[in-house]
Amino acid sequence: MRILVVEDERKIAEFVRRGLKEEGYSVDVAYDGEQGYQLAHLNDYDLIILDLMLPKIDGLTLCRQLRQEKMNIPILILTVRDSVKDKVTGLDAGANDYLTKPFAFEELLARCRALLRTYGEAEPTKLKVADLEFDLLSHRVTRSGREIYLTLKESSLLEYLMRQAGKVVTRTMIAEHVWDINFDSFTNVIDVYINRLRQKIDRGFDRPLIHTIRGRGYMLRE
Ligand code: CA
């Protein structure tokens, strides 16, 4: 799950970025509306967290613009304004939810999860492929009931593969959804992580779940 944070206050941006990363999300930050607009078009985000008072293009204008262009990503507005009128204006501009600063990170996280769930067509709390299970709430991964311990990045990668189960995922798709904008796609980091996942998920089992699709990428399937 990749999130774009558009926030000009560096401290808040960093606080949100770090917190979301710790939860396993890939996060990019834009520090003004214009950069936010560009990044939103450049990458495939699952959620945008948008401040209202921004340099260059303000949050409401940006929100309207993205909706006019039929960009159908959930948008969570984050702002100090808290009057009913401002909330209504924000929601009318096409935002899906609204959070007033100062906020508790736990609440931001809960709202992000709710938005991602709504948009993910009744997102399940558990992913299952054959005997491999990933509990999205507790971040617990098991295969045949045996617990598998993954690092944050490994579990983000596995989550993405499981969500795309049965489909070919290219390295570019993985880079876009699991890593962030600072990722150097010319490295072999993705292959390294796939191999680590294989060691943890498939080793000791008769049927491998992670398959290499020659010349294209990878696929997770039974
Ligand atoms: Ca601001």
- For residue 55, whether the previous peptide bond is cis, meaning omega lies within 30 degrees of 0, is no
pLDDT in tens, 67-76: 999 888 999 9
Distance 58 CA to ligand 1 centre (A): 9
With cut-offs at 50, 70 and 90, classify the pLDDT of residue 129. Answer: very high
Collapsed DSSP state (helix, strand, coil) of residue 20 = helix
With cut-offs at 50, 70 and 90, classify the pLDDT of residue 121. Answer: low
With cut-offs at 50, 70 and 90, classify the pLDDT of residue 92. Answer: confident
The amino acid occupying position 11 is K
Task: Please state, as a whole number, how many other Cβ atoms lie within 10 Å of the Cβ of residue 16.
Answer: 24
What integer pLDDT is reported at residue 122 of this predicted model?
Answer: 53
Distance 195 CA to ligand 1 centre (A): 42
Q: 58: which 2 tokens?
A: 């303000």
Higher confidence at residue 210 or residue 80? 210
What is the average per-residue pLDDT within 117-139? 81
With cut-offs at 50, 70 and 90, classify the pLDDT of residue 140. Answer: very high
Distance 7 CA to ligand 1 centre (A): 6
What integer pLDDT is reported at residue 41 of this predicted model?
Answer: 95
Distance 78 CA to ligand 1 centre (A): 9
With cut-offs at 50, 70 and 90, classify the pLDDT of residue 139. Answer: confident
What is the average per-residue pLDDT within 102-119? 87
Q: CB of 71 within 8 A of CB of 62?
A: no
What integer pLDDT is reported at residue 185 of this predicted model?
Answer: 66
Distance 159 CA to ligand 1 centre (A): 33
